[in-house]
Copies of this chain bind each other. A is one copy, B any other.
Amino acid sequence: MKLAQATIKDIARELNVSSSTVSRALKDYPGISDETKKRVKEMAEKLNYRPNAVALSLRKSKSFTIGVVIPEVVHFFFSTVISGIEEVAYKNGYNVILCQTNEKLEREISSVETMLSNQIDGLLVSYSKETTDFSHFIKLMEMELPIVFFDRTPNIENTVNVTVNDFNGGYQATKHLIDQGYRKILHLAGPSNLTISKKRKEGYLAALNEAGIPVDEKLIVECPIANEKESFESCVQLFKDADNRPDAIFAHHDIVAAGAMLAVKSLGLKIPEEVGVVGFSNWQFASMIDPPLTSVMQPGSKIGEKATQILLEMINNKVINPLNMEDLVLDTELLIRKSSLKNS
Contacts and interface: CB of A to CB of B under 8 A. Distances in A.
A180 B98 CA distance: 45
Given A50-B116, A144-B3, A289-B290, A97 B100 contact: no
Interface in A51-66: 51-55, 57-58, 63, 65
A80 B76 CA distance: 11
Copies in the complex: 2
Contacts of A99: 86, 90, 96
Given A83-B72, A143-B2, A145-B3, A113 B288 contact: no
Contact of A95 (B72, B100, B114, B285): B114
A341 interface: no
Interface in A297-314: 301
Contact of A54 (B54, B74, B262): B54
Interface in A243-290: 258, 262, 283-285, 288-290
Contacts of A86: 73, 98-100
B74 A119 contact: no
A258 B286 CA distance: 12
B73 A83 contact: yes
A209 interface: no
Contacts of A53: 114, 117-119
B54 A58 contact: yes
A97 B98 CA distance: 6
B116 A95 contact: no
Contacts of A117: 50-53
A319 to B, nearest CB: 14
A37 B90 CA distance: 44
Interface of A: 1-3, 50-55, 57-58, 63, 65, 72-76, 79-80, 82-83, 86, 90, 95-100, 107, 111, 113-119, 142-145, 258, 262, 283-285, 288-291, 301
